[in-house]
């Protein structure tokens, strides 16, 4: 544990956690007019519905927004990151919990993990059921998130996601099901730990963390999906529309159709970073194959292999790298190094 961390605990004071509420299903109930779930609850109302939460920590409650997940834009993610980064410099704050819509929780958590250089816990949490349902998972998830944020074992883990009693690294967290409460999983490595009857158990720690300091976010990065028979029309359109970076979601190890190659080459020649990812839910992109359109040819052309990142997280990383003014060689090193 780092010096100065959890000083409140050292003096037998209750820890203080800042909770940022941004909306999502955890804040929703059924609207009687539309018949569907909409954001409605404030942070104070959510906390009041979690039995005993006020007995385990003191809180700074920040109503940052009340958005469904699809309404959280990269600019809003970046604003949140800046607010949380500033909050973590307060020595009275021992950690941060962020409630968030699960549709875009992966991207926001990834962005914060890449931009916040603090050892204090930052824990994202959401819900798959709304407060009008008997099976509302919000209170239990929020209680677990607070437990994780106040536990000394989570110091230095980086940004994590707390859902269904699991602790998942933000860099690995993937929403795998549209409705199930155990939707968030680590695609390749499994969780960092779990919460069992209010006890936090950490079973592994991330090997490395990559911080990309920047005050600018370059949002003009597009994702193009490759499928059987795909050509380069959408790639050309993205470039002609002013894209500053491209994420190509390829097939298998990171392969594309022959018909897409000319457009990819045009983008690379124009100086646009082109990152190759895979539509496969597990594994990494590698230049294993040497046939036309395969990863080896793409790398020779100047494309950058995206490693184990899915396309939407590769986009977040590239937006930050471009915003930081990194060179093409530095961008390549960030993805392939």
Report, as residue numbers or ranges, the catalytic residues.
Answer: 25
Strand arrangement of the beta sheet that strand 122-125 belongs to: 58-67, 16-23, 95-99, 122-125, 159-163, 166-169, 193-196, 199-202
Question: How many of the other CB atoms lie within 10 Å of CB of 223?
Answer: 18
Residue whose C-alpha is closest to residue 202's, from 162, 173, 142: 162
CA distance readout (Å), 155 to 11, 96, 199, 205, 207: 18, 12, 15, 10, 14
**β pairing state of 159-163 and 122-125:** parallel
Residue whose C-alpha is closest to residue 258's, from 225, 224, 230, 221: 230
Tokens of 122: 């930052």
* H or E segment to which residue 225 belongs: strand 221-225
- Report residue 237: phi and psi, to 5°: -65, -40
Residue whose C-alpha is closest to residue 185's, from 164, 202, 203, 205: 164
Would you tell me the crossing angle of helices 311-323 and 105-115 to the nearest 10 degrees?
40
């Amino acid at each position: 544990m780092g010096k100065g961390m959890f000083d409140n605990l050292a003096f037998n004071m209750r820890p203080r956690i800042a909770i940022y509420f941004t909306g999502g299903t955890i804040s929703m109930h059924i609207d009687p007019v539309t018949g569907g779930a909409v954001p409605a609850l404030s942070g104070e109302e959510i906390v009041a519905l979690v039995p005993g939460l006020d007995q385990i920590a003191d809180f700074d409650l920040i109503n940052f927004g009340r958005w469904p997940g699809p309404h959280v834009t990269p600019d809003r993610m970046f604003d949140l990151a800046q607010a949380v980064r500033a909050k973590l410099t307060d020595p009275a704050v021992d950690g941060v919990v962020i409630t968030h819509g699960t549709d875009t929780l992966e991207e926001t958590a990834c962005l914060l993990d890449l931009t916040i250089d603090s050892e204090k816990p930052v824990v994202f949490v959401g819900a798959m059921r709304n407060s009008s349902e008997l099976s509302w998972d919000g209170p239990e998830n929020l209680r677990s998130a607070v437990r994780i944020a106040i536990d000394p074992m989570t110091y230095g883990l980086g940004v994590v996601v707390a859902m269904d009693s699991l602790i998942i690294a933000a860099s690995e967290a993937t929403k795998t099901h549209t409705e199930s409460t155990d939707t968030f999983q680590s695609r390749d490595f499994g969780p960092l730990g779990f919460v069992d009857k209010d006890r936090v158990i950490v079973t592994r720690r991330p090997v490395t963390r990559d911080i990309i300091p920047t005050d600018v976010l370059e949002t003009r990065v597009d994702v193009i999906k490759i499928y059987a028979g795909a050509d380069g029309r959408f790639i050309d359109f993205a470039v002609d529309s002013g894209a500053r970076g491209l994420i190509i979601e390829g097939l298998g190890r990171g392969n594309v159709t022959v018909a897409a190659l000319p457009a990819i080459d045009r983008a690379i020649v124009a100086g646009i970073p082109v990152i190759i990812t895979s539509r496969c839910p597990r594994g990494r992109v590698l230049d294993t194959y040497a046939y036309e359109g395969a990863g080896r040819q793409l790398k020779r052309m100047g494309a950058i292999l995206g490693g184990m990142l899915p396309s939407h997280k590769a986009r977040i990383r590239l937006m930050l790298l471009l915003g930081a003014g990194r060179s093409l060689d530095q961008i390549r090193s960030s993805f392939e190094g």
